[in-house]
Structure 1
Amino acid sequence: MTATLVASRLDHGSGRGPGDARANAASIGLWVFMGVVTALFSLFGMAYLIRMNSSDAVTLALPWQLWISTALLVAGSVTFERASAASRREDAVRARGLLLAGGLCAIAFLCVQLWAWNALLAAQVMPAGNPAGSFFYLLTAMHGLHVAGGLLAWAWVMRAFRREPEGGAWRIALCARYWHFMLAVWLALFAMLSWVTPDVARFVCGTA
């Protein structure tokens, strides 16, 4: 995962002198990566809209567990931002605790997503068959993979911050930026899966 490669660069340099160049390079790399991911999910969104315009598409009743996973991702994003602020104040103890809590929220998010999958499978909504169901599994799996990749980067940042807390502010800031991005992507996916019904798709595609 590109997020992991970015995190590996964060393991070197203290954020001063040559470390500033590494921080800038990692920041640019992360922006580029987020642009690529945005384009990828945008293409998936257009494909979903077109597929929901088909005659065999039906509305999918989303599992209620998704509200819990959304709350966990929001909590994680807020916690990472607070960890970034604490690291800028050089409050290493608080920053480390908040960084740990943010990662635990992300892990819990993945667990609840699996719970939602199990709920759909129990309701006989399979990956093949209903277009809405197929895209639900595909989109949530893709997002989950990016969250998992971010967790690898988070673990690297945790290790680097434990060794060098005085130079970890920019590392945590990049970690927080990634989780804000993952939250934004998830909210867009959740809204699309909730509101793009076959009628909406036909209206947008001009076939209503």
Structure 2
Amino acid sequence: MNSSLADIAYIFDEPSAGLHPRDVHQLNALLRGLRDKGNTVLVVEHDPDVIAIANSIVDMGPATGINGGRVVYQGDYAGLRRSDTPTARALSRPLRLNTQPRKATGQLRLHDVSLHNLHHLNVSFPMVTLTVVTGVAGSEKSTLVNRLLPRYYPHAVLIDQRALGGTRRSTIASYMGIAESVRALFARVSGHSASLFSNNGQGACPECRATLERERFIRA
């Protein structure tokens, strides 16, 4: 975004997604810089701070899906605030804080922990609540939550930004890591080897399946 090129059309699709407010202001400075070099900058955005710096705004709506697809406003930011579109109403709606947050039933405590740029940190996470860890990019949020917390509380379920992966043999059970437990249960109930209940084990070949069926017939 610091390119010195000019007379270029740049299109950004929600560039502020996931950014801290401080980083959004830095993003705005970069967008203005591109514009001031003589470029055309088009931004698809929901963040009010980014919308506010636009020279021209196109507001789409009035709703979503088949109820959208129309230009409901076009003009500057001041005119948008005076209009009666859903976007304008959202911009005029005051922020409301939750004055009665849920009470915690306990704490997940980290005492004197250190990793990377975190040194001798003490922090407590309330239990049975929704807690948000925020801060500027690079402030070690991910290190604290994704690395240190699971290290001291192994039962925590970590859902990160890694893409879902698998093969044609993948199932919900194999992806969630419970396939081994399911196979062990089937093996215990049937009295057969757990490999018979694996896609790539003995039970995958026709001869093994035929043998299993004969054994079931003899037992019956």
Q: TM-score, normalising length from structure 1? A: 0.20
Structure label with greater radius of gyration:
2
* Higher relative strand content: 2
Q: TM-score, normalising length from structure 2? A: 0.19
